[in-house]
Amino acid sequence: MRVLGIETSCDETGVAIYDDVQGLIAERLYSQISLHKEYGGVVPELASRDHVRKLLPLIDEVLKDANCQPSDIDGIAYTAGPGLMGALMVGASTAQSLSMVWGIPAVPVHHMEGHLLAPLLEDHPPAFPLVALLVSGGHTQLVYVETMGSYRLLGESLDDAAGEAFDKTAKMMGLSYPGGPAIAALAASGDDARFDFPRPMVNRPGLDFSFSGLKTFTLNTFEGLDGSATDQDKADIAACFQRAVVETLAIKCRRALKETQCKRLLIAGGVSANTALRAVLEKEVGKVNGELLYARPALCTDNGAMIAYAGLQRLKAGQTAELDVQVRPRWPLDTLPTLA
């Protein structure tokens, strides 16, 4: 089976073709970073308009790269949520239209399931069961994955997601967008022990997260320098902030592994590319002789390949889209139908 995947949930237009025998045979990605950079964050209306401009040309390019005709495609997978309503509608309506014109099924895909399954695109895919830490701009979740398609939510952020906290912290410090890479780059030259940043909610039971207070603490620390912050001050604040986020995530992951008696920890989503996070979690799983699993950096951010792969699994299970175009800006991962 050969599936065309379409990703338009936020500020990246991703298209890919995945074959269940040959694997990933073509992919293209267009990032809107330069479009949103001057605003310091994603402007939903601009994002939607740019998806309209870029999506069909990217589909043509991917088909050409794969040396495919529409008749060679067996199904279309598209991100139906979570995400920005307008951006999701662009991908969903395009996919449904092509589905009808080409006479092939379409299937809606959950964006975070796409991230969760991205490591399965690697040469040595992980085995189940496992605990997954999903960390992106919009989500921070711990999920117990019994098998592909069977998910139990263990904990999630009660306010800002980790990636969102990175972006907002970078903006308040006058750093460039996107904030995650900017903070990580600055932190590399900083002293992560200079300031005593809190580790939110680690003294409470449970596996939920909260990063809004940490963001406020960072702002107060920055403003406490009375507008005279040097480049080194900024680097130290970035390093302390990053360390606080990473250690908070690590503490919760340790609890989740203990609670589920799992030794496999999978991390996925844009923040999973953070090298400091990977290094700390490697140490955590090492304490239990466990295994840390993640995708290559190109598959951590939003992309069409993960949607094509997740959609292929859903199509194989006989799941397809309804005739009307439906998207879900909010969509709990644990409400997905199981895969046979």
Residues annotated in a binding site for Fe cation: 111, 115, 302
Annotated binding site for substrate: 134-138, 167, 180, 274
Alpha carbon of residue 21 to chain centroid: 26
Binding residue numbers: 111, 115, 134-138, 167, 180, 274, 302
End-to-end alpha carbon distance in the chain:
17
Sheet holding 140-147, edge to edge: 150-156, 140-147, 130-135, 264-268, 291-293
Rounded-to-integer distance, Cα 276 and Cα 279, Å: 5
Residue 116 backbone zone (phi > 0: left; psi -120 to 50: alpha; other: beta): alpha
Q: Are 333 and 150 in contact (CB under 8 A)?
A: no
Residue type, 71: S
The residues, any chain, with a CB within 8 Å of residue 160's CB and separated by 6 or more, are 168, 210, 211, 212, 215
Both tokens of residue 274?
């953070």
Q: What is the DSSP string of 184-201?
A: HHHHTTS-TTSS----TT
Distances (CA, A) of 9 to 4, 28, 285, 307: 16, 15, 32, 11
Residue 8's identity, in one-letter code, is T
User: Nearest to residue 179, comparing CAs of 223, 137, 124?
Assistant: 137
**Position 334, amino acid:** D
Give dist(CA 308, CA 169) in Å, integer: 33
Nearest to 172 by CA among 128, 227, 122: 227
Residue whose token pair is 């395009």: 94
Four-residue CA torsion sign, 7, 274, 283, 256: negative
Task: Please tell me the number of Cα atoms within 13 Å of 102 on its side-chain side.
Answer: 19
